[in-house]
Structure formats: C-alpha cells, structure tokens
Amino acid sequence: MIPKREKQVQEDCGDLLIEVLKNLVFFKVEDCGDLHMVQLEIVVIFKRDCGNLKGGIVEECGALQGDVVRLISSSSKSKSSKSLITCSTAFHFPPLNQLPDSTSYTQLRKNNLYSSWHSVNSTNTAPSSHNRNGFFSQNFNQKGSGFWIGQGLIGGVRNFSGESVSRESLNYDVVIVGAGPAGLSAAIKLKQLCKVNDVDLSVCVVEKGAEVGAHIISGNVFEPRALDELLPNWKQEEAPIHVPVSSDKFWLLSKTRAFPFPSPFNNRENYVISLSQLVRWLGMKAEELGVEIYPGFAASEILYDTTDKVIGIATNDMGVAKDGSKKDNFQPGVELKGKFGRVTLFAEGCRGSLSEKVIRKYNLRDKGQGQHQTYALGIKEVWEITADKHHAGSVLHTIGWPLDPNTYGGSFLYHMKDRQVAIGFVVALNYHNPFLNPYEEFQKFKHHPAIKPMLEGGTVLEYGARTLNEGGYQSIPYPVFPGGAIIGCSAGFLNVPKIKGSHTAMKSGMLAAESVFRTLHEGSPLEAFWDSLRNSWIWKELYTARNYRPAFEYGLFPGLALSALEHYIMKGRFPWTLKHGKPDHEATDEAQLWRPIDYPKPDGVISFDVPTSLYRSNTNHDHDQPAHLCLTDPKIPELVNLPVYAGPESRYCPARVYEHVVDETGHPKLQINAQNCLHCKACDIKDPKQNIKWTVPEGGGGPGYTVM
C-alpha cells in the first residue's frame, strides 16, 4: 500500500500566483516493478515498464489508480498578468534511467509530452483528451482559443532527474510549419478531403507563437473569397468578421494638406477585421476537424533523408543558456516527421527562416518566375478613439508625405468595431537613405493635420510590426521541393495594388492541400500544385497587378501615372512585364550621400518612443538563451555598417534591437537587444551586407498580439 501524499508548490509569476496542489491516493500495486518519482516542480508518479502513461495515471499496471494533478491559478490583478489570464503548463516526463528495449518502453517514449489546460480561479480538473502521439490538450472553455502551450509563460518546468533525454520523434502524414492563414487553410482543407473520401490522414501544425494568432499582424481589410470556398458557412459559425467596409478613401498627402483621389482598391463586400483573431478562429475550426496544433514550439531545423528529400522538421531545444549550457528546465526539441517520408508544408509567413533555406537549397527562385523578392516593413497601432470620431467600416489609405518622392510607401487607417481603429505605415525596404527611420516616419505621419484630430482623445491598445512581400508575380518561386511545398507569404502572393495577401495565402494553402491529398491518396506527383497554382485565380490576379509595384522604381508621380494607366485602362494587359530594381539590401546608399534626418521628439500623446510602443506589443523572450539574431562576421558592424552606412540597423529595426554603443575601451560596438525582437525580419532583409541572420528563439517567445 502507498500512503496518501499531499504537497503544495507555489510559483510567483509577477502578480499571477500559480498554485499546484497534489493529492495522490494510490492503492495496491501488483507486479509493476519499481515505483519511481519524478519532480518537475510538481510531484507526479512515474512507473517503469508499465505501459501507457495517460494524464499522470499509469494504466495496465495492476490496480494503480489516482487523482494526480490539480492546478489552481489566482490573483490576476495587474496589467502584466492579463496576458496570462488563460494559460497552460507543459510537462515533460523523461525516463529516470535507460530502460531495456521493449514494447512498453517504446510506447512510454511516444507518450512523454503533455499539456495540462486550466483556467483562472477554477478548481476543477478536466480530463485530458488524448491526441495521436502523446500530446494532450484540453480547451479551458468553449469560447477560449484553446491553444495555449505556456512554455516559458509561467516560469517553465524544472527537471531534477539529472538525466539527458534524446530528441523525440513523432510521425504524421502531413507536417505544417506555421499556424497562419495559409497553414491553417491547408490543414482544414486536408481534413475536409479526408472526411469526404473516408480517408484518415494525420495532420500536425507547429507554431512558434505562444498561442495561435500571437504572431499574426496585418492591416486588415479582408477579402472573403477564399474563406467562402473553404468554410462557406463562416457567418453562421461566428467567424470574427463583423464590420463591412462602409467607405473607401484615398488621399495624397502634402505636409499640410490632403488631396482626395479616386480609390483604386474596390473594397466593396470586404470587411475590416483583426487577422490575429480570425486566425484563432481558423485554429479552432482546424482542431474540430482533428488537426493537431502545437503552439509554443519553434521549428528550427529541416530534416532530410539520405537522398536530400525533406522528411520533416525539428523544434529547437528549450532551456538552453546563453553560453550553451543546459539549464534546470532543459527540454530537448522534438522531431516531427512525415510518415514514410510523406509531406512537409512551410507556411511561416514573410521571410520564413526555414522557407528561405529551402528556396536556396533547391534553387526555387530561378525555377519559378526568376526575380528576387522585394519587401516592405509595416508598422501598426490599434487605438481606441472617442465615439464621435468612430465610423465602423471606414477605410482610408494615403501616399506621399512624410516620405520623399523616391521612397515607396503609404499609410492605412481602418475603423474596426468597439471604437477601435487600426492605423499603420508601410515603407518599402528598397529605400536609399540610410538615415531614414520607418518607426519615426510613422510617428511623424500621425501628426499630419488631417490625421491627428482622429486620434486626439484616444489611447493606444497595441503595437506591432512585420515585413511583407511586395515582389508579386515576378518573384513567385517554384513552390514544390522534394518532400513538400512552400505556401502563403513564405512564397509571396501579396497583391500590392489591393494591399491584400490573406485571401491569396489561404487559397494557396487550399490548393496545396488538394495536391497533397492526391499525392498521398492516389499517388499523383506533388508537382501538380504548381499547375494548380498557375490555373487558379491567384495567378490571374497577380499577373494583372504585376507592373504596379515596379512602376514606382521611377518615383512617386511617374509610378502613379503608370499604375493608373495599368489599372484603369490596360487592366493588366500591357505586353511587357516590368522588373524590380536592386535587392533591398543593395539599395541602401552610403551615408556620405545623405544628410541625417532630424525627427521630432514624441509628445507621449499622439507619438511615442520605442520602449513605450514595445511594451504595448506584449513582447517577451527569456533573456538567458542563445541569441537568435546572429552575425555572420561580428566585425562588419564596426568596420562597415557604422563608418559607411552610419549604422542603419539602429534605425530600420522598429524595436530598438540594435544599438551602437561604446565599450569599456572606448571603441564602438554593436549591442543586440534580442529580447526586444518583434520577429518582423527587417534586419534579415535590409542589412547592407546580409550579415544578420534571423533564426527562431525559444518557442513561445516574441510578441503576443491579440487584436492585430
């Protein structure tokens, strides 16, 4: 007989107190070998050679029974704990000792990663639902997102066993990297096809954000064309799409005036939305169909077989210190593989780190349309304004001031629901002036006489930034590689004149899903995805819009004239296709050709400094981890970037990650504040010598967007 054990552990996470209560009551154990205890800041029972471990209860072990874990969280009073109002804890149960090869041990290793869901101020312990390969998830309530894997959000789990654990390997028919519009649309479409054809394919989506939607940021005036095809009943199923466009304006700004132009965007029947909220809803729809979604796990490595075919991905190790040593909460990464070398889809969004590796390795850019990708940086705030100034569904775009005539960019201002307004500024990253600061241009823009009155009396709710693809038709890579495909903004399907890419990203995921299903079910080649893409409305849409963005290589007013001719008269039927200029990093001029820009100081009412804005992004990284922003040559910032380009990395980054400081010897050096990173990828794109390499940090780190 094992006596009743009671123990309480308290962990202080800011103002959020997590109490873990154990009431372990066990009865007679028959023929179950030795009983061991693993302490991971909670007390659980670990059995060797005893079959499946489910929810902390060892089955098939005689009469071993128990109520193992109860989680209670309380005291969520401060602003800092609001993002933790619904959270989870991930527990990793490694074997205490090396066990002999056996069926029971193999099964035990397959079932060694758990997530236990709980809600604030709840003392009820809901039974976990068993997913395919040892992951457990239980929604904390019917309306919650249900995707929290709070690794790092409440302090992590400490492993006291002292044993190293090899990387786990979990097998799926389809592995999708990125829970954005493209990745989730692909997952949903695959499961829909399985249901129609009575086929069982396992589909896994891995997401580096702490929850689905946490890293999603977009304008967003949403065109529902792809969603109508994917989920025709989205209105009845309570999709967070509530505000139809009510007006659509387009202004050319001078320093003091706004000149109205005919709007070329045709936003009738579109909606003003929060894309991060829509993605959460898509995630719920995917889970309802049987898709397994694992947020908080960052895909850091591509796995290949001996023939150089992609067979899956691996997530990065957790709990590694800056010096590379293993901390007490170390957990090895997990390998997610396609069964028998099946299919991996990369849907990481713009400038995805693994997607770029695949594009280079298999020379996909040259196999596709052939031109390099060109990018822009979008910076966004969500405000809550006074009721008398709010007009739900109102859409405004501007070009011109404060940018110079040779720099492409503009602004947007969208009235959402609940007196919320999304305001943002987009700057093409092929700008020439190394002293230009996109963040400061945005703050300056908000003081324009036609813009400032809309914001006065309001408050900022959230801030964020992200790069976006602007290469369009000319820059689409060949999307298929041995073992998988690239979809969504990882490939680059943004329609620049529409300023929209969510609908094309979703459609690309759906087309890929159809090709993947035929490949796995019928044996047809995955290369059919390329043909489907070129025969779809995506291709027609991007071909028609292909000359809009490169027209602005000649400046603002020639670009307006050429694009108007293309849009209103030729309608995409020009007999030629314009080419993009230099790659963005090569477009930066030397500092000696330009004068520094004297930006006004923020007033703290309409404009703000970077630390204030960064706080509003809910960005968080563990400080004690290896830098995810790597310098190929540590000497280049001091020897090239600073003397030749005046240190542009300190200006193009919208989160003040890069600062040139003086060291103890009086010499300048580049200080990297990686914990500030918004995952926008601007540094990976704009660095003049391509010396900065963006890699994924620990899963769960980065921004925590909720209304972006």
Give me the mean pLDDT over the 89-118 stretch.
Answer: 33
| DSSP secondary structure letter of residue 569 | I
Q: At how many degrees (to 10) do helices 537-544 and 502-522 cross?
A: 140
Whether 127 contacts 138, CB under 8 Å:
yes
* Segment 537-549, tens digit of pLDDT: 999 999 999 999 9
Total residues found in the chain within this entry: 708
Give me the mean pLDDT over the 257-271 stretch.
Answer: 94
Rounded Cα–Cα distance for residues 160 and 241 (Å): 47
State the Rg of the chain over Cα. Answer: 26
Whether 404 contacts 433, CB under 8 Å:
yes
* Segment 66-87, tens digit of pLDDT: 333 322 222 232 333 222 222 3
Q: Is 308 left (phi over 0), alpha (psi -120 to 50) or beta?
A: left
Q: Give the pLDDT of residue 67.
A: 32
User: SS3 of 479, please?
Assistant: coil
Q: Is 132 left (phi over 0), alpha (psi -120 to 50) or beta?
A: alpha
* Segment 312-362, tens digit of pLDDT: 999 999 999 999 999 999 999 999 997 776 899 999 999 999 999 999 999
Rounded Cα–Cα distance for residues 102 and 124 (Å): 36
Whether 615 contacts 664, CB under 8 Å:
no
HSE (side-chain half, CA atoms, 13 Å) at 439: 26
Terminal Cα-to-Cα distance of the chain (whole angstroms) = 55
* Segment 133-168, tens digit of pLDDT: 333 333 333 333 333 333 333 233 333 333 455 889
Check whether 12 has a pLDDT greater than 80. Answer: no
The closest alpha carbon to 227, from 502, 517, 609, belongs to 502
Question: What b/e string do you get for 49-70 counting C-beta neighbours within 10 Å, with b at 16 or more?
Answer: bbbbbebbbbeebeebebebbb
* β-pair partners for 8: 21
